[in-house]
């Protein structure tokens, strides 16, 4: 019995000597990366990481003045570049809190999949990190710009993408989505872009120069063919894309007010719920893409003398709204068919899921079929409420 207890004690004590094997890391030794930018420079991979700088004055305990540092490393593989950082920075990059991966345009045009391998292979990185493309720039050029309320640039960038809730002119593709869409039959990935812009006027009186003169914009999106960047969509096209992808989380629709007037006046509907159903059909050997969109929303603004207190005019408003959405989406689909000629809307995926047999037959020529296909769209708008006003303020009551 005594021998057993002694043995047990020895075992337990020896376990405490093995802690290093369990990968314990004290928090203050971590280099928490929030953004990872990947570029190609001189045929080598250049990694730029935004790392939280914990070294701020100890007397202020608020986290308001958290700052970040940028570290860079090069190598032939992503991992080599990441480890290259350690000898200049002194810490291993800890990727579990990475919010976004930014690809430089040069690299994206060559195909991003080879560089994704490490990110998925290592267990640290989250698949929920957004995938972004720096439009007409290197990844490190868009990093470090913070024009929002957030002190940390990474959070600013994330808030730009998350603002899809208010304005669907961007897209929120994360790493998981990207790879899923890459593997989906008949679908190509779309990711959000970051565009660096000089601010207009505001900062001219300020003496500060540098990153504060710039802001980022995530309006629009980048179109990938498989894993290669081939072009960009404008904000409105991205919005139409989101409508077809059933990815509208909020935002407004602006449409011409249906009144007889010389000048064109506009009204806006803020959407509450948008539901999209896609379908694919064949008729006389021609491919027909079908989309049915149901929009519910509140009237946010009415321009012109539109008295919506009666049912007919409300119906007119709804129809005008539907018409605008319909025209916008038709335009975008035509543009994509003409300019890109491959399916970014996932109609092929719908067909694959629904009629696998038929899909097998046309699998190889789907992109060509898509480019030639007819597009039918049906939009229904339900106006749920008109805000606090019935009639526009311009209508005088007698």
Partner 1 sequence: MISKRIRDNKELFITLFNNSSDFVAYDFETLSNLKIMVCYIEGLIDRDILDRDILESITVNVKKPKDIKKFIMTSSIKEVYSVDEIVNEIVYGRVAIFVEGLKKVYIVGLSKWDKRQVDQPQAESVIKGPKEGFIEDIAVNKVLLRRKLRNNNLVYEDMRLGKQTKTMVSIAYIKGIVNEAVLRELKNRLNKINIDSILESGYIEELIEDRPITIFSTITITEKPDVAAAKLLEGRVAIFTDGTPHVLIVPRIFVEGFMSSEDYYLRPYYASFLRVLRVIAFIITIYLPGAYVALQLYHQEMIPTVLLVSAAASREGVPLPITLETILLIIALELTKESGVRLPKNIGSTVTIFGALVLGQAAVQASLVSAPTIILVSITALAEFIIPQLSEGIVVYRLLVTILGGFFGIYGVVCAFLVITTQVVSLESFGIPFAWTWAPLNKTALKDGPIRIHKRNFIHRPLAIARKNVKRQQPPRGEGS
Count other C-beta atoms under 10 Å from residue 326's C-beta: 17
- Taking CB under 8 A as the criterion, which residues in 237-266 touch partner 1? none
The least CB distance from residue 67 to partner 1, in Å, is 11
Residue 347's closest CA among 277, 283, 293, 284? 277
Query: Kind and range of the H or E element at 231?
Result: strand 228-233
**Using CB under 8 A, which of 41, 44, 54, 180 touches partner 1?**
54
* β-sheet bridge partners, residue 232: 222
Which of these segments, 25-33, 79-87, 129-137, 286-294, binds partner 1 (CB under 8 A)? 25-33
CA 335 from chain centre, in angstroms, equals 21
Taking the least distance from each CB to partner 1, the nearer of 13 and 393 is 13
Closest CA to 258 of 331, 325, 318: 318
Q: How many whole angstroms separate alpha carbon 398 and alpha carbon 395? A: 9
Smallest gap from residue 86 Cβ to partner 1 (A): 18
Question: Bridge-partner residues for 301, per DSSP?
Answer: 268
**Based on CB atoms, which residue is closest to partner 1, 92 or 335?**
92
**For partner 1, which residue of 44, 97, 196, 335 counts as binding (CB under 8 A)?**
97
The answer to whether residue 19 forms part of the interface with partner 1 (CB under 8 A) is: yes
User: Exactly one of 40, 48, 73, 94 binds partner 1 (CB under 8 A); which one?
Assistant: 94
- Which residues share a beta bridge with 198? 214
- Range in contact with partner 1 (rule: CB under 8 A) among 54-62, 258-266, 278-286, 366-374: 54-62
CB 138 within 8 A of CB 106: yes
Contacts of 102 (CB under 8 A, 6+ apart): 35, 36, 37, 38, 132, 133, 134, 139, 142, 143, 157, 194
Residues 99-128 that bind partner 1 (CB under 8 A): 99, 124, 126
Q: Does 63 bind partner 1 (CB under 8 A)?
A: yes
Residues that bind partner 1 (CB under 8 A): 15-16, 19, 22-28, 30, 32, 34, 52, 54-56, 58-59, 61, 63, 66, 94, 96-97, 99, 124, 126
């Amino acid at each position: 019995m005594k021998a057993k207890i002694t043995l047990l004690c020895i075992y337990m004590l020896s376990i405490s000597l093995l802690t290093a094997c369990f990968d314990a890391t004290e928090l203050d030794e971590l280099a928490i990366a929030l953004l990872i930018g990947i570029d190609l420079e001189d045929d080598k991979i250049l990694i730029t990481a935004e790392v939280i700088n914990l070294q701020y004055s100890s007397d202020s305990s608020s986290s308001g003045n958290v700052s970040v540092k940028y570290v860079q490393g090069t190598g032939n593989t992503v991992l080599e570049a990441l480890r290259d950082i350690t000898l200049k920075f002194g810490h291993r990059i800890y990727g579990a809190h990475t919010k976004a991966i930014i690809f430089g345009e040069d690299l994206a045009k060559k195909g991003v999949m080879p560089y994704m391998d490490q990110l998925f292979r290592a267990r640290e990185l989250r698949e929920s990190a957004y995938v972004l493309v720096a439009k007409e720039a290197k990844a490190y050029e868009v990093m470090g710009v913070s024009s929002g309320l957030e002190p940390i640039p990474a959070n600013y960038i994330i808030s730009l993408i998350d603002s899809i809730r208010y304005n669907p002119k961007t897209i929120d593709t994360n790493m998981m989505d990207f790879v899923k869409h890459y593997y989906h039959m008949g679908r190509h990935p779309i990711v959000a872009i970051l565009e660096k812009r000089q601010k207009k006027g505001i900062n001219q009186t300020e003496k500060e120069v540098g990153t504060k003169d710039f802001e980022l914009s995530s309006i629009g999106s980048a179109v990938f063919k498989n894993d290669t960047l081939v072009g960009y969509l404008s904000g409105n096209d991205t919005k139409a894309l989101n409508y077809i992808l059933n990815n509208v989380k909020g935002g407004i629709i602006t449409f011409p007010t249906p009144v007889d007037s010389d000048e064109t006046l506009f009204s806006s509907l803020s959407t509450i719920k948008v539901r999209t159903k896609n379908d694919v059909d064949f008729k006389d050997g021609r491919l027909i893409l079908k989309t049915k969109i149901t929009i519910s929303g509140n009237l946010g603004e009415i321009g012109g003398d539109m008295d919506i207190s009666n049912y007919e005019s409300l119906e007119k408003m709804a129809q005008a709204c539907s018409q605008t959405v319909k025209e916008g989406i038709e335009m975008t689909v035509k543009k994509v068919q003409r300019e890109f000629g491959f399916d970014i809307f996932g109609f092929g995926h719908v067909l694959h899921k629904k009629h696998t047999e038929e899909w097998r037959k046309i699998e190889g020529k789907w992109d060509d079929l898509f480019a030639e296909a007819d597009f039918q769209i049906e939009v229904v708008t339900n106006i749920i409420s008109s805000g606090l006003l019935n009639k526009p303020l311009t209508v005088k009551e007698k």
